[in-house]
């Protein structure tokens, strides 16, 4: 299968001729003037902050700042309400309900499947291998005429590992639809981002987020990097003001602190190693899967019992024990040094109560 990707051939036909909503801020992009165009409240807000004006619908200042950090031009950058918004918009723009297919590779991030299900898109599941890598032949064999998107999460959630570059390259070269590489956890690995290879692969889409390394999950802001042609489509179908003014202000402020983000990442990686070492000393732990993310996937002898005990201690982890290829596993986010110590001490207490020497 050779790649002859043409975005126009895979877009839903009506999207090509869709007339987008034209907001007041599309007609005038200046920051100074007497604004009588958007039916806003001229007297200000009911709060002390001035939120009476609509935000920039295209987040120009933020994209310029991202360009200096990510080295991707603004016309290739789409900002969404979390990464979930571009996941939803890509599905809506490309997949015809009731006809088209997407491929996911369980175990993986659940929103790919949820978004496809919402839009009545067929979901073809091709399992990762037992070491959580892509079965490339199986993926390409699963491609049908109506397969439009292949979703890849790397580092993968919930397993934590990077996916082999060679596998992604083969799929990008051999598939004429979109290949979306979700890099929500890219900051926690030394692997270079796929953003640097957008010029090589016109069908490549890369997702990143401000929720993890940047510590801005509450803002609900995600990044999507793709061809300028596809970004224009996403801008055409998104809600006009999809990122609020407070979120935009906070993002601009946050982007001034790259060094603080890097320091937090370094601290998390240090704690990840310490947490892994401490967990390995527990007899109730069967295996810790290699992680390139800010969490560990840990297999326990009795995951349900451990989960129940931790909840009773008001320590909340994620039960992944019923997820394909994650049987018996809990996903544990790397916390602060103190939080990790509390977790380990609780697990030691559980072990003392439940393990007979």
Count how many Cα atoms sit within 13 Å of the Cα of residue 146 in the half-sphere of its side chain. 12
Stretch (H or E) spanning 103: strand 101-104
* Rounded mean pLDDT, 217-234: 97
CB atoms within 10 A of CB 95: 27
DSSP state of 275: H
157, 221, 293 from 186: Cα distances, Å: 11, 16, 7
pLDDT value at 246 more than 80: yes
pLDDT, tens digit (0-9, with 9 covering 90-100), for 278-324 = 999 999 999 999 999 999 999 999 999 999 999 999 999 999 999 99
pLDDT band at 268 (very low <50, low <70, confident <90, very high): very high
Q: Does domain 259-354 have CATH number 3.90.1150.10?
A: yes
pLDDT, tens digit (0-9, with 9 covering 90-100), for 31-84 = 777 877 788 888 888 988 889 999 999 999 999 999 999 999 999 999 999 999
Equal CATH topology for 7-256 and 259-354? no
CB atoms within 10 A of CB 323: 18
List Cβ neighbours of 325 (8 Å cut-off, separation of 6 or more).
106, 107, 127, 128, 130, 132, 159
pLDDT value at 1 more than 80: no
Give Cα 345 distance to the centre of its chain: 32
Residues in the chain: 357
Q: 7-256 has which fold? A: 3.40.640
Rounded Cα distance between 207 and 84, Å, is 10
Cis peptide before 316 (omega within 30 of 0): no
pLDDT value at 89 more than 60: yes
Rounded Cα distance between 272 and 340, Å, is 9
Domain boundaries, the chain: 7-256, 259-354
pLDDT, tens digit (0-9, with 9 covering 90-100), for 140-165 = 999 999 999 999 999 999 999 999 99
> What mean pLDDT, rounded, does the chain reach?
95
Crossing angle of helices 60-70 and 245-254, in 10° steps, is 30
Residue 304 near residue 319 (C-beta atoms within 8 A) = yes
Rounded to two decimals, what is the model's pTM? 0.94
Residue 150 near residue 138 (C-beta atoms within 8 A) = no
Give one DSSP letter per residue of 175-196, joined into a string: -SSEEEEE-TTGGGSSSPPGGG
Give Cα 347 distance to the centre of its chain: 30
- The pLDDT score that the predictor gives to residue 2 is 54
Instruction: Express as a percent the part of the chain with pLDDT over 70.
Output: 97
């Amino acid at each position: 299968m050779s790649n002859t990707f043409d975005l126009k051939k895979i877009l839903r036909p009506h999207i090509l001729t869709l007339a987008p909503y034209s907001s007041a801020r599309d007609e005038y992009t200046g920051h100074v003037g007497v604004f009588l165009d958007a039916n806003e409240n001229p007297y200000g807000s009911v709060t002390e902050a001035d939120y009476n004006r609509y935000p920039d619908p295209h987040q120009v200042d933020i994209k310029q700042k991202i360009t200096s950090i990510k080295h991707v031009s603004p016309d290739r950058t789409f900002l969404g309400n979390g990464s979930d918004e571009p996941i939803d918009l890509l599905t809506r723009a490309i997949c015809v309900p009731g006809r088209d297919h997407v491929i996911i590779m369980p175990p993986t991030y659940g929103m790919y499947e949820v978004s496809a299900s919402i839009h009545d898109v067929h979901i073809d599941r091709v399992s990762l291998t037992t070491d959580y890598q892509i079965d490339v032949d199986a993926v390409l064999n699963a491609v049908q005429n109506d397969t439009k998107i292949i979703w890849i999460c790397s580092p993968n959630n919930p397993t934590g590992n990077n996916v082999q570059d060679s596998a992604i390259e083969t799929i990008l070269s051999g598939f004429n639809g979109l290949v979306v590489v979700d890099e929500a956890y890219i900051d926690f690995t030394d692997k270079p981002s796929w953003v640097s290879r957008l010029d090589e692969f016109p069908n490549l889409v890369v997702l990143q987020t401000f929720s993890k390394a940047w510590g801005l999950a509450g803002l609900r802001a995600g990044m999507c990097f793709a061809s300028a042609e596809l970004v224009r489509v996403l801008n055409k179908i998104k809600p006009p003001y999809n990122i609020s003014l407070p979120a935009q202000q906070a993002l601009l402020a946050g982007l001034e602190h790259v060094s603080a983000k890097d320091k937090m990442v370094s601290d998390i990686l240090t704690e990840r190693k310490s947490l892994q070492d401490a967990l390995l000393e527990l007899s109730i732990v069967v295996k810790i899967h290699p992680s390139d993310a800010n969490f560990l996937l840990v297999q326990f002898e009795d995951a349900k019992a451990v989960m129940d005990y931790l909840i009773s201690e008001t320590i909340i982890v994620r039960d992944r024990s019923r997820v394909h290829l994650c049987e018996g596993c809990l996903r544990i986010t790397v916390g602060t040094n103190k939080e990790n110590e509390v977790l380990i001490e609780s697990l030691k207490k559980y072990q003392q109560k439940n393990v007979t020497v």
